[in-house]
Structure 1
Amino acid sequence: MMTTARTSPPAPWHRRPDLLAAGAATVTVVLWASAFVSIRSAGEAYSPGALALGRLLSGVLTLGAIWLLRREGLPPRAAWRGIAISGLLWFGFYMVVLNWGEQQVDAGTAALVVNVGPILIALLGARLLGDALPPRLLTGMAVSFAGAVTVGLSMSGEGGSSLFGVVLCLLAAVAYAGGVVAQKPALAHASALQVTTFGCLVGAVLCLPFAGQLVHEAAGAPVSATLNMVYLGVFPTALAFTTWAYALARTTAGRMGATTYAVPALVVLMSWLALGEVPGLLTLAGGALCLAGVAVSRSRRRPAAVPDRAAPTAEPRREDAGRA
């Protein structure tokens, strides 16, 4: 009788860390998608640097309060290099340049160029962190990028575009990728809250030259714009960057970067619900491709089959028995 094989499903308690990481990544993606709607509103009253500083200050205050309540202390010395680099590139430079770039190009062009970021994350992660590039990840990223291109093309023409604006968005994508790859090693030494809190603080310090603009513009800005700026700091920054760091500590940079391809699809949906902007069929198709690619990139192979201990073993052949 031949040996039967069965797959042993992982115990629920073994899957809990994976489920928590997936939940944290989902929170991040949803809040980052909502940020695009808030940036559109706040950006009408605040300049790029002032908006970035106001957002980061709101984030620092929120994160600092939680950090003090949890009494986590200062990050270990080994984590500071990654915290400083991610704070400079991602929390500081990225937010200013992205705000600036989105004022120079239409939404479709910005979405298209910035979505080069996850591809750069995967390549830098493989080069600098030794992350693997499995075929499912590469396939999923290709599908998602095709979806991002589709969304971008469907939204193009809604505003002016310039070469300078494209360069700014490309710099934002590079800074985003560099910040993520720098943050990953820091999470091996410090908690997600520590890395996010002090990274946000570094970014806020970098943006302090815009303090004068922030004070001047806040005096004449409508309440709705200021509330959107505070929302950006509390939720898409303080909360979403912390849940991002929590999930990043439990997976590769490439897989986390691929997850953010769900953002364009959610932005389309939120703009439809919150702003009444009805998407076209091409936009919906692009959003569906983004989500399909994320699903492929996050999927894993089924566990290998293991012998069923309850099944009888195969009887030895005569010639084999004679050799025993």
Structure 2
Amino acid sequence: MMPSPSRPAFLAAGAALVTVVLWASAFVSIRSAGEVYSPGALALGRLLAGSVALGALCLIRREGWPPRAAWPGIVVSGVLWFGVYMVVLNWGEQQVDAGTAALVVNIGPILIALLGARLLGDPMPPRLLAGMAVSFAGAVTVGLSMSGGGSSSALGVLLCLLAAVAYAGGVVAQKPALARAGALQVTTFGCLVGAVLCLPFAGQLVSEAADAPLPATLNMVYLGLFPTALAFTTWAYALARTTAGRMGATTYAVPALVVLMSWLALGEVPGPLTLAGGALCLAGVAVSRSRGRAARVVAASPRPEPARERSGGSAGSA
């Protein structure tokens, strides 16, 4: 009986790994593009690049439109996560130091677990809660150690808090949609909804792109193709096969990976406190992802099966 459930569990874990690695790489790219592009223009450019890539893939795979029952979750997650979250987070990180941003934004996974338990009936086992507590402490430690004595503003704190709430709401709204449509469909149309929401920033994007250096624009395109188009699809694939709270806890690996990538790509050697915080993040993720029994890992996997039949199998190879 073990071979059949082990494959989807392995694929879901691999998809989650791809997601956190690409989301971590986004911080390095945002550092470059964010110096040239304003928050709204950067979000719109990123979403347009992602929408083009995802739309082309949907056409190649002949995905078609999602079922009507999936649209409420797609629209809500598109507005909150692809639209509001990206703009507000870009803006908030210009107003606060990294320590404050880490503290406020990283309440997102905690909110996901609470909302998932309340609205989706997701379980909250002690290991998940313990792992999230350890990872949250690690994320705050990493942020404080890399803050460099920056300043914070009340507006910046409020924006980061709004970003965390939008992130949590988007994830919880996306989960039911994945029971009715494939991961590629949910991601593509959610990205399109976010792009439409950001269209008021089109004028800024055009004017800023005309004067932007090529590396900044390439970083914006990279953000759309990989941390958005690819990583959000692999996220949706993995989310369809586990609980929202457990997937939210997985993103606590991002700060540790950002430390490592900054070290390798930018030559920013982390200090002992930063390394300790990164280790705490990874330890907390390991605790929160463990369930003790292999059967429990696949407990949520049957839910996406109907979606494969309705969506032409997109959930199986996102």
Please confirm whether the aligned pair reaches a TM-score higher than 0.5, indicating the same fold.
yes
Q: Which among 15, 19, 22 is matched to residue 28 of structure 1?
A: 19
* 1:189 paired residue number: 180
CA contact (8 A) 1:86 1:179 kept: yes
Q: Which runs of 5+ in 1 are unaligned?
A: 1-9, 305-324
The structure having more radius of gyration, on CA atoms, is: 1
CA contact (8 A) 1:89 1:176 kept: yes
* 1:147 paired residue number: 138
CA shift at 1:303, angstroms?
A: 6.2
* 2:63 paired residue number: 72
d(CA) in 1 for partners of 2:19, 2:184: 14
Residue 174 (structure 1) aligned with residue 162 (structure 2): no
Give the partner amino acid of 2:280: L
Q: Which among 219, 223, 229 is matched to residue 238 of structure 1?
A: 229
Q: Which runs of 5+ in 2 are unaligned?
A: 296-318
* 1:316 paired residue number: none
| Root mean square deviation of aligned Cα | 1.1
Residue 106 (structure 1) aligned with residue 92 (structure 2): no
CA contact (8 A) 1:101 1:169 kept: yes
Distance 1:182 1:153, change over 3 A: same
* 1:116 paired residue number: 107
CA shift at 1:158, angstroms?
A: 4.3
Give the partner amino acid of 1:218: A
CA shift at 1:185, angstroms?
A: 0.2
Q: Which among 265, 270, 279 is matched to residue 261 of structure 2?
A: 270
Residue 52 (structure 1) aligned with residue 43 (structure 2): yes
For 2:40, what is the secondary structure of its paired residue? Answer: helix
**Over residues 16-52 of structure 1, what are the superposed CA-to-partner deviations in whole Å (9 max), with x where a residue is unaligned?**
0000000000000000000001001000100000000
Q: Which among 199, 215, 228 is matched to residue 206 of structure 2?
A: 215
CA shift at 1:62, angstroms?
A: 0.3
d(CA) in 2 for partners of 1:158, 1:272: 20
d(CA) in 2 for partners of 1:97, 1:20: 32
d(CA) in 1 for partners of 2:149, 2:193: 35
Which deviates further from its counterpart, 80-89 or 269-278? 269-278
Q: How many residues were matched structurally?
A: 295
Residue 62 (structure 1) aligned with residue 58 (structure 2): no
For 1:189, what is the secondary structure of its paired residue? Answer: coil
CA contact (8 A) 2:98 2:144 kept: no
d(CA) in 1 for partners of 2:81, 2:293: 35
Give the partner amino acid of 2:274: T
Give the partner amino acid of 1:234: L
CA shift at 1:86, angstroms?
A: 0.2
* 1:291 paired residue number: 282
**Runs of at least 4 residues off by over 2 Å:** 10-14, 156-160
Give the partner amino acid of 2:243: T
d(CA) in 2 for partners of 1:80, 1:136: 33
Give the partner amino acid of 2:68: R
Name the TM-score, length of structure 2 as normaliser. 0.91
d(CA) in 1 for partners of 2:165, 2:294: 36
CA shift at 1:11, angstroms?
A: 2.4
d(CA) in 2 for partners of 1:302, 1:47: 47
* 1:132 paired residue number: 123
Distance 1:36 1:303, change over 3 A: closer
d(CA) in 2 for partners of 1:177, 1:42: 25
CA shift at 1:276, angstroms?
A: 1.0
Give the partner amino acid of 1:75: P
Residue 92 (structure 1) aligned with residue 73 (structure 2): no
CA shift at 1:157, angstroms?
A: 3.4
d(CA) in 2 for partners of 1:154, 1:146: 12
d(CA) in 1 for partners of 2:98, 2:28: 11
CA shift at 1:109, angstroms?
A: 1.6
CA contact (8 A) 1:184 1:249 kept: yes
Distance 1:81 1:302, change over 3 A: closer
For 1:279, what is the secondary structure of its paired residue? Answer: coil
**Over residues 260-313 of structure 1, what are the superposed CA-to-partner deviations in whole Å (9 max), with x where a residue is unaligned?**
000000001111111111111001000000000000000011469xxxxxxxxx
Distance 1:197 1:303, change over 3 A: closer
CA contact (8 A) 1:107 1:158 kept: no
d(CA) in 1 for partners of 2:75, 2:110: 23
* 2:191 paired residue number: 200
CA shift at 1:108, angstroms?
A: 2.1
CA contact (8 A) 2:100 2:144 kept: yes
